[in-house]
């Protein structure tokens, strides 16, 4: 499987954010997108996920499901942690697995939240909410992970746990495109810097 982007351009609010952006990521590879604030890192991830219109260029997931949009073959982990505060931690994960298909299995164990499965999500700290969002990556299998500042709000042990989960995903042939201002624990990730001017 291979994610290919050719001559991408992004326009937001009538302003060109970036143009002429091309890259490719193959199964087992991670691409770390870096750049200053406002350079378009988040917009690029949202564009790949199908949440932002592509002003020019093309994006393709070669070897993926041909009749399925890229966004349906990807997990997008953005700045907002998508969860229902009135549901428990376990119920939130069960909702996502029921909606997208998958199996909760040991996902809460993998992120260290199994002891909090019955706690309403409203009581979680920012780091715990982030870990619950990461549990969804494990419970619902998708080949492409789009991660926007994935270590945000995570303490050191949680960052190390996330790095191990990302390496496991890559070892299984998965792809990762992550936007970050600094290292995310993947030493072998290639870097794509955007907005250098």
Question: At residue 195, does pLDDT exceed 70?
Answer: yes
pLDDT band with cut points at 50, 70 and 90 for residue 155: very high
Question: Residue 4 has what pLDDT?
Answer: 98
pLDDT band with cut points at 50, 70 and 90 for residue 103: confident
pLDDT tens track for 70-89: 999 999 999 888 889 999 99
Q: Domain range spanning residue 65?
A: 2-193
Query: How many Å apart are CA 69 and CA 78, to the nearest integer?
Result: 19
pLDDT band with cut points at 50, 70 and 90 for residue 62: very high
Report the mean per-residue pLDDT for the chain: 93
Question: At residue 197, does pLDDT exceed 70?
Answer: no
Which two structure tokens, joined as six digits, stand for 162? 């996330």
Question: At residue 60, does pLDDT exceed 70?
Answer: yes
Q: What is the CATH number of the domain that holds 81?
A: 3.40.50.300
Query: How many Å apart are CA 177 and CA 76, to the nearest integer?
Result: 10
User: What residues have CB less than 8 Å from 139, skipping those under 6 apart?
Assistant: 93, 96, 97, 102, 103, 104, 105, 107
State the residue for tokens 């991660």: 147
pLDDT tens track for 104-153: 878 999 999 999 999 999 999 999 999 999 999 999 999 999 999 999 89
Question: At residue 196, does pLDDT exceed 70?
Answer: no
Domain count, the chain: 1
């Amino acid at each position: 499987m291979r994610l290919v982007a050719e001559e991408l351009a992004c326009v937001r609010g009538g302003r060109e954010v970036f143009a002429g952006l091309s890259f490719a990521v193959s199964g087992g590879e991670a691409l770390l997108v870096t750049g200053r604030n406002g350079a378009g890192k988040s917009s690029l991830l949202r564009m790949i996920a199908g949440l932002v219109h592509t002003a020019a260029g093309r994006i393709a997931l070669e070897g993926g499901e041909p009749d399925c949009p890229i966004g349906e073959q990807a997990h997008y982990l953005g700045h907002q942690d998508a969860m229902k505060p009135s549901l428990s931690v376990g119920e939130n994960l069960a909702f996502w697995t029921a909606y997208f298909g998958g199996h909760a299995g040991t996902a809460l164990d993998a992120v260290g939240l199994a002891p909090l499965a019955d706690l309403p999500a409203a009581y979680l700290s920012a780091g715990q909410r982030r870990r619950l969002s990461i549990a969804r990556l494990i419970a619902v299998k998708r080949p492409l992970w789009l991660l926007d500042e994935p270590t945000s709000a995570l303490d050191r042990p949680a960052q190390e746990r996330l790095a191990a989960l990302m390496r496991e995903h890559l070892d299984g042939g998965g792809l990762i495109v992550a936007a970050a201002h600094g290292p995310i624990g993947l030493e072998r990730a290639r870097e794509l810097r955007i907005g250098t001017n």
